[in-house]
Amino acid sequence: MKQISRREFIKTTAVGLGSLAALDAIPREVLAFEAADTVLFNGNIITVDAKDTIVQAVAIRNGKILKVGSNQEVQSWSGNGTERIDLKGKTVTPGLVDSHLHIMGYGMQFRPLFLNIRFPLTPNKAALLKLVAERSKTTKPGEWIVGNQGFTLSVDQTPTRWELDEVAPQNPVLLRHNSGQHSTANSMALKLAGITAATPNPYSGKIGRRAGSMEPNGLLFHYPAENLVNRVAPGISDRDMASLAEDVERGQLRCLAAGYASGHDVIVAPQKIGGYFAAAKENRLKMRIRLMEYVSHEKELEQLLRNRDTSSNPMLENGGYKLAVDGGVAAKTALMYDANLESSKSSYVYHDQATLNRMTRMIHATGHQVAFHAVGDRAIDMAINAIEDAMQAKPRENHRHRIEHCLFPTEKALSRIKQLGIVVSVSPQWIRFHSDGYKAMTNESAMQRFLPLKTMLDMGIPVAFGCDVPATILLEPRWAFIGAVGRTTHNGYSPNPAECLTIKEALRMHTMGAAYAGFEERAVGSLEEGKLADMVVWSHDLYAMPLVAMQSLAAERVMVGGKFVETSR
């Protein structure tokens, strides 16, 4: 008689019995060695594997995927103790991986202490000033009014210190732009921070001045200048590790509710990174998080490399370092070759090329990943130059150094990115939200190069999607899909529609593409046997719903490591 394996016996028996429930008749000891903890069946399961296979069912054991396939193929993995979940035709995808978001920083925005100035509450300067004026009426003299991150106005529309003084004459005021690239403070806040006409610009930061003089006008460009006031404002720099861990927990719940099972926090201040480790140590992390520690200057990098935290946790990885090359379009600090563009009129070099090269070499030589904030074409080229220099000094395969945002690359830059194996991490939400503003701040020629997603895909450049909250006004991934697939603003402007993606391409960039950006593609990003059981149950079929209905797409349930997690907004 031909002998069969236990697995074949189970499969044969399951087919013969014809139902999952009938498997209860099989002795538990036969099934115990391989029975699934959970089986999801009767679904429309988009695996995002190499063939983009769509299946009906998936079996999970010990947090990993045992089997994907038809209901009949998967049912043999069910045993007496298996939880069976009927998806009733619902669409399931891999848990989304967000390549660029700030979980702690996003959670921070919802502290009761802060004045809420986020979209859509502040559509113009008058609305912003009105919120400050109203808060001042209920705030004691001398107490701070600190806004969360933040308003969406361009730097020309941002209130100056004197305008803030008029609506809050007895309170120090600090407000931050949603991009994080500039803030504004009133006279009392500047005084408490010790900022005067004699205060020099900090390294890679800039203090805004009244035209024709050195008198500060309240505007603060880039983190080093913003931090001059942040360090004395309550709720920003005075948090202990326990309260920072609370921010992480608050932020991750909102991210999970949106459908993100994993995320890369691509700018963690060294003095705050302990908040993540505190949350991990207390088993408070429900989503997988990869950190990129922000580096302000060369000496700080030397210290960080010497004192790197190598703690290990299955939900948290200290992944590498972040360097900023320029700022943002709204702040007019995007570093473009055409410095006459409005997007660049306040731009300046954060690190000269030699310094940027040295810093990149230092990180590269240690085997870590570097992520560069680079928006303008000149900034993008500076990041590419630094990576090329590091590779020439010490060739290294599979480095996966990254350029974050990469809004306006030139054709030559794209060729170099491909040649050097650079990963591009983008936020296609911005196509929908900001293209009108970007066009006003640049020109149509620049907008023809704006986020050329299809070109990058066709060239074989690794592309990852990340929402970049709190810099992005809305968290949900549907806005990434709408931006990448539709490439049209709510006003009807479509920058280079030839760069539109299909929804299949967009989903892959938000799963496998983002997983690749974090060296995670063997563990997450697709639903395949042996991978972690991270997945999302959606309200609609992503592949079937028309783009005009995409605004209704919502994550209904999110699974991380084989367990559905509780979420909250």
pLDDT band at 27 (very low <50, low <70, confident <90, very high): very low
Q: What pLDDT does residue 309 have?
A: 80
Number of Cβ within 10 Å of residue 82's Cβ equals 21
Strands 260-268 and 288-294: parallel
Strand partners, 39: 59, 84
What pTM does this model have? 0.93
Higher pLDDT, 15 or 211: 211
Q: Which two tokens stand for residue 369?
A: 């990943």
CA distances from 151 to 118, 206, 304, 431, 460 (A): 5, 20, 32, 18, 37
Euclidean distance between CA atoms 382 and 402, whole angstroms: 13
| Alpha carbon distances (Å) from 88 to 40, 44, 85, 367, 565 | 10, 9, 9, 47, 20
> What is the spatial distance between Cα 277 and Cα 244, in angstroms, rounded to a whole number?
10
* Predicted pLDDT of residue 569: 53
* pLDDT classification of 7: cutoffs 50, 70, 90: low
Q: Which two tokens stand for residue 363?
A: 């990180």
Q: Is the pLDDT of residue 520 over 70?
A: yes
**Topology adopted by domain 97-103+238-564:** TIM Barrel (3.20.20)
CA dist 541 and 564 (Å) reads 20
Query: What value does the mean pLDDT take over residues 46-72?
Result: 98
Find the helix packing angle between 274-281 and 241-258, rounded to 10°.
Answer: 80
Tell me how crowded residue 321 is: count the other CB atoms within 10 A of its CB: 27
Banded pLDDT at 8 (limits 50, 70, 90)? low
Q: What is the mean pLDDT of residues 247-276?
A: 96
| CA 124 – CA 157 distance, rounded (Å) | 8
So where are the chain's domains?
6-89, 97-103+238-564, 112-230
Q: What angle do CA 39, 254, 567 make, to 5 degrees?
A: 40
Residue 66 backbone phi and psi in degrees, to 5: -90, -45
**Mean pLDDT score, 140-168:** 97
Q: What is the pLDDT of residue 459?
A: 98
Confidence of residue 405 (pLDDT cuts 50, 70, 90): very high
Provide the b/e sequence for 248-286 (b: ≥16 CB within 10 Å): bbbbbbbbbbbbbbbbbbbbbbbebbbbbbbbbeeeebb
Strand-pair category, 182-185 with 145-151: unpaired
What does residue 162 show for φ and ψ, rounded to 5 degrees? -70, -35
Q: What is the pLDDT of residue 312?
A: 79
Strands (E) across 74-200 are located at 83-86, 91-94, 96-101, 145-151, 173-177, 182-185
How many CB atoms within 10 Å of residue 227? Answer: 20
Q: Give the range among 32-36, 73-77, 86-90 with minimum mean pLDDT.
A: 32-36
Most distant pair of Cα atoms in the chain: their distance: 97
- pLDDT, position 9: 52
Q: Which two tokens stand for residue 470?
A: 């709190």
Per-residue pLDDT at 516 = 98
**Burial bucket for residue 556 (CB in 10 Å: 0-12, 13-18, 19+):** middle
Q: pLDDT, tens digit, for every residue of 344-401?
A: 999 999 999 999 999 999 999 999 999 999 999 999 999 999 999 999 999 999 999 9
Pick the CATH number of 112-230 from 3.90.420.10, 3.40.640.10, 3.40.1410.10, 3.10.310.70: 3.10.310.70
Per the prediction, the chain carries an average pLDDT of: 94
**CA-to-CA dists, residue 47 to 67, 375, 556, angstroms:** 11, 33, 18
% of the chain beyond a pLDDT of 90: 92
What architecture is the 6-89 domain classified under in CATH? Roll (2.30)
Q: Which residues of 337-354 are buried (b: 16+ CB within 10 A; e: fewer)?
A: eeeebbbbebbbebbeee
Given a contact cutoff of 8 angstroms between Cβ atoms, the answer to whether 43 and 56 are in contact is yes
Distance, in Å, from the CA atom of 567 to the CA atom of 436, rounded to the nearest integer, reads 34
Residue 45, φ and ψ in degrees, nearest 5: -100, 110
pLDDT digits (tens, 9 = 90+) for 160-210: 999 999 999 999 999 999 999 999 999 999 999 999 999 999 999 999 999
pLDDT tens digits for range 431-488 = 999 999 999 999 999 999 999 999 999 999 999 999 999 999 999 999 999 999 999 9
Tens of pLDDT, residue by residue over 282-341, are: 999 999 999 999 999 999 999 999 998 877 799 999 999 999 999 999 999 999 999 999
